[in-house]
Structure 1
Amino acid sequence: MSLVNHSLVAVIVILIALVWSVPTLGLFISSFRPPSLIHATGWWTALVPPWSFTIQNYENVLHAQGLGQAFLNSLIIAIPGTIIPTLVAAFAAYAFAWMEFPGRDWIFLTIVALMVIPVQMTLIPVLGLYTMFTQATGLQLTGNYVGIWLMHTALGLPFAVYLLRNFFAGLPSDLFESARIDGASNINIFFRILLPLSVPSLASLVIFQFMWVWNDLLVALVFMGGNPDRAPMTVTIANLVNSYGSNWEVLTAAAFISMALPLVIFFTLQRYFVRGILAGSVKG
């Protein structure tokens, strides 16, 4: 009976995964079809002979529509927007988990409470702070990579600190006590003991943060929308939808280019994903 139940669950999961993958498969196939066939027939008709595929859609999007530069802009935004909050959150999580200082628990609860604040409520205050900074220093943050890096770091830190702190607190205390007896400083403990043991949680956080920054439209539109030369793919594709709403071949190719890199990163780090999320959720 147990074997039958497990087999039934496996079949259900596989069916759900297949159904969930159908839109992605259809998008992928449509991105290689000529415009005349996209408008005349469904994507599933391309699975039977005679086959008719082309890479002209990708050439048009990358060169004529400027998506190649937008892809580079997204990388410039997403990589620091992932590394900076992950590094800062790791230092903060170690302090909350294994260092004693006044108000530690209350400060941690305050950081966790920040997760419930909607992103939309932060835009106007942050823009006001950026304006004050520009007036005081003459340095422009809006329309600049530094400004959006800081914004993504601030928005991603509460969840990152919460996830990593719970994982760090679940590690054996004997490791840290032995290291302190041997004379190791907090810096040595952090880099030589904590980080090597925390690869699953760090990989999970990198997946979450990178995919959130990569797929973000609202923050990019507010802070980079006025500078088309530095606009990421989300803003560029949104402009393509407005300008080429009927040219499905352009939109399918652009959409698949946008989702290709997150898929690669997820499948590369997926072996750490479940371990990191479970460890960061139930320990602490």
Structure 2
Amino acid sequence: MEGIAGQKASLTWAVHIAVAALVILWTVPTFGLLVSSFRDKDQLAMTGWWTSLSASEQTLAARTEGPDAQIREGDLWVVRGNLFAPAGPGQVASWGASSREPAAFAPGETADLGDGEALRVEENGDYELSASAEMTGSRGQRVYVQSMEPPVFTLDNYRSVIGAEGIGRAFLNTFTVTIPATVIPILVAAFAAYALAWMQFPGRAILVACVVGLLVVPLQLSLIPLLRFHNAIGLGKGYFGIWLAHTGFGLPLAIYLLRNYMSGLPKDIIEGARVDGATDFQIFRRIVLPLSFPALASFAIFQFLWTWNDLLVAKVFLGTSDSQLVMTGRIVELLGSRGGNWEILTAAAFLSIAVPLVVFFAMQKYLVRGLLAGSVK
């Protein structure tokens, strides 16, 4: 009796588990990225985001004050202070006077440094360095501290990205590249897909095979030849060139998806319109295009995301000036040549995905409208 209408499928539980696993696999890393974007950069470098609500242990290298701060107390010369000053209060878990043993002593214990010198460090970071003879030199004693740092959340990462020079211009440049590079392939692909799906002409099967073959052409192998072709015909590096590049790279997939979708539309509707005297353009504009809205919206989402997050094509077909640098290129520059400011990546990631998220949820509405418009009795 399985498979009869009204009965529940026996493997429904497996589908639910698979969907839940996929949701977790996508949600947990995204949530971790969000938490990391608000963490202090030092704690971010030392511990994972799952420890963000608990105190973290960090190894700090500090120095006592120099011999200039010593005072004489009886037969001893003493230097006192706090290892956490002036940064702020802290908690010492363990400490040491050598980099090879940074946790050799517990708070309150006294270490014999030799030559009549001794050092004691308390839990709050207070220290006392004493010597039987007057200390000389210009620098204090090096101390390694294992400290328990309370969790610190800050907006500094976002301030670094938002306040960076040229970031606003990079946003506008990205819009300038992305919007035409999304609209143009959809317009061209929609006409081509209709012709390949419903119009009869010689060589149609060969054209479909060529479109499928173009899907496997590596993008990276065609960048330099295409750039040389642009230079040869006078396009050079600029917005028009990158629009054409994104259009060329996106058209094979767009035509393939839209052609397959349009081929599956009810044949009776198309033939009925032709019997009533409608031209191909009228059929395309009034029947096929509204019914194909779900496929158009789906490709628009993916094309927009791909062009918005693109760095390679923008590097090749655009210049590096502030008037042409896109968002991804600006973020790479903020990281530095050696990636020294990598902690801003978490904040930059969320700022960068804000617009694609808005586009995605906005296109979801059009997806539903397209599905309703394409329903037939």
TM-score in terms of structure 2 length: 0.65
On the 8 A contact 1:148/1:220 being kept in 2, the answer is yes
The question of 1:28 aligning with 2:122 is answered no
Where does the alignment leave 5 or more consecutive residues of structure 2 unmatched?
3-7, 56-149, 372-377
On the 8 A contact 1:225/1:235 being kept in 2, the answer is no
Q: Larger Cα Rg: Structure 1 or Structure 2?
A: 2
> Counting helix residues as a fraction of each chain, which structure ranks higher?
1
The question of 1:74 aligning with 2:168 is answered no
Which stretch of the first structure deviates more once superposed, 9-18 or 250-259? Answer: 9-18
The question of 1:124 aligning with 2:218 is answered no
The question of 1:88 aligning with 2:183 is answered no
Which one of 150, 157, 161 corresponds to residue 255 of structure 2?
161
On the 8 A contact 1:78/1:213 being kept in 2, the answer is yes
What are the Cα deviations for residues 154-184 of structure 1, in whole angstroms up to 9, with x where unaligned?
1110111010001111111211122122222
What are the Cα deviations for residues 242-268 of structure 1, in whole angstroms up to 9, with x where unaligned?
347233432211122122322333344
Higher relative contact order (CA 8 A, sep 6+): 1
Q: Structure 1 23/244 Cα, relative in aligned 2: closer, same or farther at 3 Å?
A: farther
The question of 1:204 aligning with 2:329 is answered no
Q: Give the equivalent residue in structure 2 for 1:58.
A: 158
Where does the alignment leave 5 or more consecutive residues of structure 1 unmatched?
135-139, 277-284
Once the 2 structures are TM-superposed, how far is the Cα of residue 108 of structure 1 from its aligned partner? 1.8
CA RMSD of aligned residues (A): 2.6
Which stretch of the first structure deviates more once superposed, 37-46 or 256-265? Answer: 37-46
Which stretch of the first structure deviates more once superposed, 242-251 or 124-133? Answer: 242-251
Give the percent of matched residue pairs that are identical in Structure 1 and Structure 2: 51
Q: Structure 1 198/51 Cα, relative in aligned 2: closer, same or farther at 3 Å?
A: farther
Q: Structure 1 105/222 Cα, relative in aligned 2: closer, same or farther at 3 Å?
A: same
Q: Give the equivalent residue in structure 2 for 1:141.
A: 236
- What amino acid does structure 2 have at the position aligned with 1:157? L
TM-score in terms of structure 1 length: 0.84
What are the Cα deviations for residues 182-218 of structure 1, in whole angstroms up to 9, with x where unaligned?
2222222111111111111111111221112122221
Q: 1:116 aligns to what SS in structure 2?
A: coil
Which stretch of the first structure deviates more once superposed, 96-105 or 33-42? Answer: 33-42
Quick one: distance in 1 between partners of 2:319 and 2:23?
A: 35
Which stretch of the first structure deviates more once superposed, 162-171 or 26-35? Answer: 26-35
Q: Give the equivalent residue in structure 2 for 1:184.
A: 278
Q: Give the equivalent residue in structure 2 for 1:227.
A: 321
On the 8 A contact 2:36/2:49 being kept in 1, the answer is yes
On the 8 A contact 1:244/1:250 being kept in 2, the answer is no
